[in-house]
Amino acid sequence: MENSKVSYPMTTEIISKEQLLAHWQGHRSLTRRVIEAFPEDQLFTFSVGGMRPFGEMAKELLAIAVPGAKGMATDKWETLNENVDLGNSKQKLLEAWDQATEELNHWWAKIPTGHFQDTAVAFGQYEDMVYCSLLYFIDNEIHHRGQAYVYLRALGITPPNFWER
């Protein structure tokens, strides 16, 4: 280093863009297995304490992930639309989930790395720094999936291990 003309800073990055995508997709893979663990007749009906069935929560997660990444990639935000018609079908939900996995990879690649420290109005409604919105999307998935774990336990079903992604 003493002989080099330009000095580079030490890598002090907490997490890279690629690592953050892998982290999210790992969570999404676990959420997919949680969806799979529900009996079809309970996925869109079973509830504890008056909360939404997990199938409805999963539709919210679908409404956020790809449109969220697309918004960050293009800086054009559409309003949040959680009312995707999947006919209360577990199979259709899983197919939509898998399609979203591919589309998320596609849009993620187009997000400029420097954009995470910008401010944006996510879904035309939620103004925050982009990294905060992104973490909110992931955290919201973990939050609702944690609720699905209780639903599954209440149904007498052992959920997938939290640590397997």
**Residue placing its CB nearer to its own copies in the complex, 48 or 84:** 48
In whole angstroms, the minimum distance from the beta carbon of 101 to its own copies comes to 19
Closest distance of CB 4 from its own copies, Å: 11
CB of 19 to its own copies, least distance (A): 7
Q: Give Cα 139 to chain centroid, integer Å.
A: 8
C-beta of 18 vs 95, nearer to its own copies: 18
Nearer to its own copies, 52 or 86 (CB): 52
- Residues 25 and 42: their CA atoms lie apart, in Å, by 25
Give residues in contact with its own copies (CB under 8 A).
Answer: 6-17, 19-20, 23, 27, 48-51, 113-114, 116-117, 131-132, 135-136, 139-140, 142-147, 149-156, 162-163
Q: How far is the CB of 153 from its own copies (least distance, A)?
A: 3
Per-residue CA distances from 139 to 24, 36, 99, 117, 142 (Å): 10, 21, 21, 18, 5
Residue placing its CB nearer to its own copies in the complex, 92 or 110: 110
The answer for residues whose C-beta is within 8 angstroms of residue 27's C-beta and 6 or more apart is 138, 141, 142, 145, 165
Look at the block and give the residue holding tokens 């409404």.
63
CA-to-CA dists, residue 165 to 33, 51, 69, 160, angstroms: 10, 26, 21, 10
